[in-house]
Structure 1
Amino acid sequence: RKLDDLHSPFVSKMWRVAVRAEPIPREVLAKVLAQTRSDIIEDEPLSHARMGLIKAYYIRRQRQERRKDMVTDLTPELNASNPNPAYQCGRLLAVLASLQRRALGDVGAGIVQRYYAAASCTPALVLGRLTRNSQFHLNKLDAGLAHWYEDRIADVWSNLAPGIPGTLGLEEQTLFALGYYQQLAALRKKKTDEKPEEEEDNE
């Protein structure tokens, strides 16, 4: 958003946070999450600045608490081994959505538009069913590409042991969004730079 569109108290608060190296308030995180969720569901381009603010929230909080785990796990690009279940759930939704697009093309209201809100709050109720249904999409792909997606799905599930969480709170929902965002970016980069084998064969 443009600076002129922001309320003065919000601008003042964020100025103090930046200048004094204070923790980013949870209410700011909630605003960022709400706008990010809206952009994802409406298929609008995601804001790099908002994603950066989410990462900054955790990095600053962990430094305040003198912990290094979150700082290490939150990387500029996809961290497939991030141990946070919410992050991995976001990754899984991004992979399943990409699979649907490859199998069916533009279907209007796809997996993300229909299920993102529920998956980011109650992933156990949604992601298992979407994974089972993904076999329908896999069956529509060439064997090589289907195998490539199966490997991606299996990779995420291997990081979700012992299972998908039932519910996610505010902070976990932002990590879900971050996992979705970074996995989506990685898939798009791979499509451009390292196309799956069967795509290259068809060129």
Structure 2
Amino acid sequence: RLMRYAMAAMQRHLEAGHKTLPLVVPMLFYHGNRSPYPFSLCWLDEFADPVMARKLYATAFPLVDITVVPDDEIMRHRRVALLELIQKHIRQRDLMGLVEQLVALLVKGYANDTQLQSLFNYMMHTGDAARFNTFIRQVAMRIPQHKEKIMTIADRLRQEGHRNGLQKGLQQGKQEGQRLAALRIARSMLNDGFDRDTVLRVTGLAPADLASESH
């Protein structure tokens, strides 16, 4: 519990805009029946294997740097090779060099529909839409037996993306409409002689919004 509180305090510190972690002291205040305090004060002792916990959490974390792993080695990772290749090369402007590798993995059966959907979704959100469409077409052309499945998954993701974008747009439009209504009310109240603090409190506007109305 103390570590959870400490982590939460660190998270709030970062969310406030700070770039480094603060030192948070997880101090325990004890007033129990047994005296002196009879338990360990090291949170690592709470693990089933405290020795292993110390090795894991008291040193630098293990690292899997996919950027330095050769593509040939990644191809041997079978069912995770698909995602690893894309993660490694997603920032390249030209993904066409990965078409043959992806085709090889699909032909060998190292990707099911769920993995393909995850892969395409990842590409859509982290890459370029035009490149994504070209990439999908090139893959589908090379493996006709999987073409319908690939295009169906890609189309479904595009539709979901369009629907999510539309919903986001509607929400933004609704919020902007509410803001404009609040500005009209504020303008009317100011014209009627209400003071700024009262107008801000009633409308919920920010001082900057009200400042723009006074110009």
Fold conserved between structures, TM > 0.5: no
- How would you bin the TM-score normalised by the shorter chain? under 0.3
Q: Normalized against structure 2, the TM-score is what?
A: 0.24
Q: Normalized against structure 1, the TM-score is what?
A: 0.25
The higher radius of gyration belongs to 2
